[in-house]
């Protein structure tokens, strides 16, 4: 009889989808022989756009500070701010300290990649999806 080999496995709860019942799905990922080199993805998040001095791009306000003012959203559309649209200091703190770190953790736990040694540099591409965000200069060189 062959000896039993214990393999490490990661059990991940899948994200709930709209309209899904209370039943939850789980995915089990086990390391297989010959499949080494995979690791959780490394994610860097910049919150430069949430800073007061970083919100102006192309001389257009990027988020709401007061109800009734005009703002250009990240899809490039003009919008009139309502009271619920205002990005208060409390909402900024919630994004920076809770929502974004939890989202990074959730994705890092679920996305396995073959890591590269160097940083991945974001190229300057006019008209690409990154044009709407302030990319730190260290990510462009």
In CATH, what number is assigned to the domain containing residue 130? 3.10.170.20
Residue 98 has pLDDT above 90, yes or no: yes
The 3-class secondary structure across 10-42, one letter per residue, is EEEECCCCCCCCCCCCEEEEECCCCCCCCEECC
Q: Which of 6, 5, 29, 24 is nearest to 14 (CA)?
A: 24
Any domain includes 21: no
Any domain includes 15: no
Q: 40-65: per-residue pLDDT in tens?
A: 888 888 887 777 665 555 556 778 88
Residues 6+ apart with CB under 8 A from 124: 140
Cα-to-chain-centroid distance, residue 22: 26
Any domain includes 12: no
Q: 99-132: per-residue pLDDT in tens?
A: 999 999 888 888 888 888 877 776 666 777 677 7
Distance CA 60, CA 73 (A): 9
Q: Which of 79, 97, 83, 88 is nearest to 52 (CA)?
A: 88
Total domains in the fold of the chain: 1
3-state SS class at 15: coil
Any domain includes 18: no
Any domain includes 132: yes
Cβ atoms within 10 Å of 38's Cβ, excluding its own: 13
Range of the domain at 80: 40-139
Residue 94 has pLDDT above 90, yes or no: yes
3-state SS class at 98: helix
Any domain includes 83: yes
């Amino acid at each position: 009889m062959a000896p039993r080999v214990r393999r490490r496995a990661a059990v991940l709860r899948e994200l709930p989808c709209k309209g899904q019942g209370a039943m939850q799905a789980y995915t089990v990922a086990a390391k297989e022989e010959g499949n080494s080199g995979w690791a959780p993805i490394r994610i860097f998040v910049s919150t430069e756009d949430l800073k007061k001095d970083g919100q102006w791009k192309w001389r257009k306000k990027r988020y709401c500070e007061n109800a009734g003012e005009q703002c250009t959203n990240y899809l490039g559309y003009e919008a009139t701010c309502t009271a619920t649209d205002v990005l208060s200091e409390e909402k900024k703190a919630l994004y920076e300290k809770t929502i974004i770190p939890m989202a990074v953790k959730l994705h890092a736990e679920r996305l396995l990649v073959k890591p590269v040694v160097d940083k991945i540099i974001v190229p300057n591409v006019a008209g690409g999806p990154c044009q709407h965000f302030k990319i730190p200069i260290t990510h462009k060189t």
